[in-house]
Each structure stands twice: as C-alpha cells, then as structure tokens.
Amino acid sequence: MKLWLIFFSLFFTFQSFSQARRTNFFEIDRRAMTIDADEPAILANKLTSSYTSELQKVRSIFSWITSHITYNVSRNPGGRRIQTIIEDDDTGALKPLNERVAITVLKRKSAVCDGYAKLFKTLCDYAGIRSEVISGYARTNDGRSYTFRSNHSWNAVWIDSAWYLLDVTWAAGYIRYQSNEFIASRDEKYFLSSPQSFVQDHYPEDLQWTLLSQPPVLKEFKRSPFINGGFIRQRILSFAPSGGIINAKAGDTILIEVQTNNEEKDLVVTEKFFLDTALVAASQGQKDLQNSCSVNGNKVGVSYVVDSPFTEWLNVIFNGEVIMRYRLNVRKDDRIVTNESDN
C-alpha cells in the first residue's frame, strides 16, 4: 500500500466514521443469521448480492462470521484470548493460502485469529471489496504480561474511499479464563473502530495500519522493542539494547546487536517511519539502507549515527526482513524531542 494513499484516506475516514457507526444494521444482521454455505465464493454471493453499498456488504460478512464461527479454544490450551495459528488443511494446492484457510474455517466452523482474519478477507475478495489482513500486537485483558511481539491478526477494509479497522475475532466473543470456554457475545467496539480507539489494544507490525499520522508509543516499548514476526523466522536468540525506548542526542552512535544461529548475517538499521516489510528486500541496494555490520561468531552488530533531532523510529532489518522496532527519543537543547505522547 502506497504511503500517500493511506494519508489521503485519513481525511475521508474521519468524516465518514461517525455516519457508518450510526447505521442501523438490524435487518442485515438478521438475514446473515439465516445464511449458510461451505464454499467461500457461494457464501460471499449469498451474503452480499442483495446489497448495493460497500458498507452493507461488509456488515453482512462481519455479522455472518461473528455469529457462525467460534473461537477454537482447543488450539488455545493456556486460556489466552489471542493466538496466531494458521488454520490450513490441504484443500487444494492451486488455491491461494487465504482461501485454503477460509475453506478450512468454514468446514470446522471454528478458528483462531488468523483463520478469522483470512476468512474475512477471502469473503471480501469474492464480494469485490478491498481488504487486508493485518498482523501485530494485541493487548490482552487478563492482567498477564506477555512479550511485546506480534501475536494477533485483524483486518483493514476499504469502504467508500476510506480505510476502516475491524477485528472479527474479538468481536465474536471472549474466552472465560476459568474454564477456557469461548462465550459468543458480539462486541460492536471492534467493527469499524476509530483509529484512535483501535490502537489502544491493536498495534500493527506496519505502522501505516494504525491509520494515524502520529502513531503512539505504547507503554510496552519501555521494557522491550516491538518484535516483528521476522524475529522468530530469522532465529534471533537475543538482542541489545533490551529496552525499546532509546534516549540519545544528535551525533550519538547507537550500537544495535543481535545473536542468532542463522548462518547468513546481514544486519541493517533504518529510520524509515512507515516501513513495508515486503519492500525491504527490494530496497537493500539503496543508499538509505546501507550500514556496515560486524560479525563475531553468532553475534552481529551495527552502528547507527543519529543525524537528525526528529528521528522517531529505528527499524532493525536482518537478512532483508524487519525483526524489531525501537522508539528513539532525541535530545535537543537539553530536551527530549517527542512528537506524540506515550500511551
């Protein structure tokens, strides 16, 4: 997604958000309850062919998923509310992954967050509606402390020239932790939520999907940098600095180090604000991603020189994949420059 399109859509998002939430969906919800099908294409047609607006179609898909798909607590033995596990039976080698997952979810009538999100996108695809599956960190409400890393999936959907955020998993109900039992209970808070509200408990890997021009700094950054999905894939064992917020001043040199069992060791740091992970590999030859890293056994380090008092984010890239994000607070004239408040 082009950065300019995200910002261009923000103006329309804020204008149309209130109107969308005020819409009465009673008849759409009632009709969605009566529909069933085992194939994504057939189900999408049944859910949306009677409607003319994108909002009506999206609501019908959202309503059907939240009323027909239950959370798979058997894949969640610890009683945690969220967990990213790909639901994928071998339902056809030629089908895209999202559709294979969607077919599996429709057959089982249960899923974890990844299955919910991929089913929503697949049905939107068949309905001719643009949507995305978003990965990131979601705060739980059970009082436990978890690592600040990607642990959840949700969706963004394009309605009437604006992006909206929704979470069909959390909207479908919740888990009763004492009995590890899923309780079906629709939560309208997670349907077309305002970006300011949604980011309170949903923090995407790619910051553009906050739909905010100034994404907040979550309190979790104080104890750890945000760990992306690539951290596990690249077999990272440890890292430094350990805290996610780095205080510095212009001209300072910051040493970023990781320890890994990966034989290939290419470490890069960039201050790019919105960084699309999929574009990193194609950008490796560009000047703005050139850092000289040093390798000592299974440790690899790179030095980053703070050359601007307005640098806010440091993305750590290992073998062409974003693995971590630090928040950089730069001192200027004995003051720490920050452009947004901590959350």
Average pLDDT over residues 184-203: 94
Average pLDDT over residues 107-128: 96
Residue 159: beta bridge partners? 162
What pLDDT shows up at residue 52? 95
Question: Is residue 177 predicted with pLDDT exceeding 80?
Answer: no
Which residue type sits at 221? F
CATH of 3-215, one of 1.10.3470, 2.60.120, 3.10.620, 3.30.70: 3.10.620
Q: Do domains 3-215 and 220-337 have the same CATH topology?
A: no
Model confidence band, residue 186 (pLDDT cutoffs 50, 70, 90): very high
Separation between Cα atoms, residue 243 and residue 93, nearest integer Å: 43
- Going edge to edge, which strands form the sheet with 299-305? 236-240, 253-260, 299-305, 293-296
Average pLDDT over residues 253-275: 87
What pLDDT shows up at residue 289? 53
What pLDDT shows up at residue 273? 63
What pLDDT shows up at residue 285? 45
Lowest mean pLDDT among 71-75, 88-92, 332-336: 88-92
Question: Is residue 82 predicted with pLDDT exceeding 70?
Answer: no
pLDDT tens digits, one per residue of 273-328: 655 555 554 444 444 555 678 999 999 999 999 988 888 899 999 988 889 999 99
Domain limits, the chain: 3-215, 220-337
Q: In 15-128, where do the E strands start and end?
A: 70-71, 110-111
Q: Considering only CA atoms, which of 205, 192, 209, 161 is closest in space to residue 53?
A: 161
What pLDDT shows up at residue 76? 52
The string of DSSP letters for 302-323 reads: EEEE---TT--EEEEEETTEEE
The superfamily in CATH containing domain 220-337 is Immunoglobulins (2.60.40.10)
pTM for the model stands at 0.81
Higher pLDDT, 74 or 236: 236
Mean pLDDT of the residues in the chain: 83
Average pLDDT over residues 181-198: 94
